[in-house]
Amino acid sequence: MKKQIAVWLLAMAALPAWASLNVFATVPEWGALAKEIGGEQVTVYTATTAFQDPHRIEARPSLLAQARRAQLLVAAGADLEIGWLPLVVRDSGNSAIQAGRPGYFEAASYVNRLDVPTVLDRAHGDVHAAGNPHTHLDPRNVLKVGEALAGRMAELDAANAAVYQSGFKTFAGKWQVAMARWEKEAAPLRGVPVLVHHSSFVYLTHWLGIKEVGSLEPKPGIEPTSGQLSALLAKQQTTPAKMVLRAAYNQDGPSQWIAGKTGMPAVLLPYTVGGTAEAKDLFTLFDDTLQRLLKGLR
């Protein structure tokens, strides 16, 4: 009998541990951060990929099913997901992840946001009242959000609070070392003028000291027009840019047109985890982003 019990205990020990916290992340970057912090204690479902515009997602039944079983919803916030997430949260029937509950977490709430409008007018395009929501491309923001997220995870899963705090501490140590390396490597980019397809990179350019001198979109969220592209081409005579940047989910036609007319490189940046083959996690997201920018500069 004792031998049978010992065999049973060994068999149980060999089984994979069940995750303690089900996380529904709206975008890859915050899903990756939750996994960095929680490790095997979390199961993370990410609602979008790097090749989808996070502003424009359909509230599909599959998203409702995943939201229904989540204990923690991690969103970018600042109205990035305003077109679809409120429907998913409402129709999921999951009281734990409703706005204002501990199971609802918005990353943008924990950082200083850029591009907060002084006047709200739809005539200005797809303007976010709470500021630019693409906060993850400044790695200093990732640290701030990570600290807050670890605290929220510990609150929701108190039995594993020490795991989450330890996970964040380990991540933060590696992240700070990486940040110092990235800032040193990126020194040649300071002051470099660039065009962007969409205002996806404002936190990245602010962090690195890159100068955004124009957008291919005539207004935020409005697809590039021939008139806007022609105006940017004319502007090159007085305010020349060195590169044109687009995210993995942006169409490549407009940036390639500008590049062909000016001779500047059109640089595809991963924008988020999974946006390129090299950007497999948060660390390689920044590694690959910097390498692509430096290659474009050369």
Treating both helix axes as pointing N-terminal to C-terminal, what angle do 253-262 and 226-235 enclose, rounded to 10 degrees? 30
In CATH, the number for domain 187-297 is 3.40.50.1980
The residue ranges of every structural domain in the chain are 17-111+119-181, 187-297
What integer is the mean pLDDT of 72-101? Answer: 96
pLDDT band at 130 (very low <50, low <70, confident <90, very high): confident
What integer is the mean pLDDT of 225-242? Answer: 93
Q: Round to the nearest angstrom and report the end-to-end CA distance of the chain.
A: 72
Contact 43, 66 (CB under 8 A): no
pLDDT at 127: 64
pLDDT at 13: 39
CB under 8 Å to 42, separation ≥6 — which residues? 19, 20, 21, 22, 23, 34, 35, 153
The architecture of the domain spanning 17-111+119-181 is: 3-Layer(aba) Sandwich (3.40)
Percent of the chain exceeding pLDDT 70 equals 90
pLDDT digits (tens, 9 = 90+) for 40-58: 999 999 999 999 999 889 9
What integer is the mean pLDDT of 136-144? Answer: 98
Residue 10: exposure state from Cβ atoms within 10 A (0-12, 13-18, ≥19) = exposed
Position 7 pLDDT exceeds 80: no
Return the amino acid letter for 73. Answer: L
pLDDT digits (tens, 9 = 90+) for 274-297: 999 999 999 999 999 999 999 999
pLDDT band at 298 (very low <50, low <70, confident <90, very high): confident
Position 1 pLDDT exceeds 50: no
pLDDT digits (tens, 9 = 90+) for 174-194: 999 999 999 999 999 999 999
CA distances for 28 relative to 52, 54, 71, 115, angstroms: 11, 10, 18, 23
Contact 153, 34 (CB under 8 A): yes
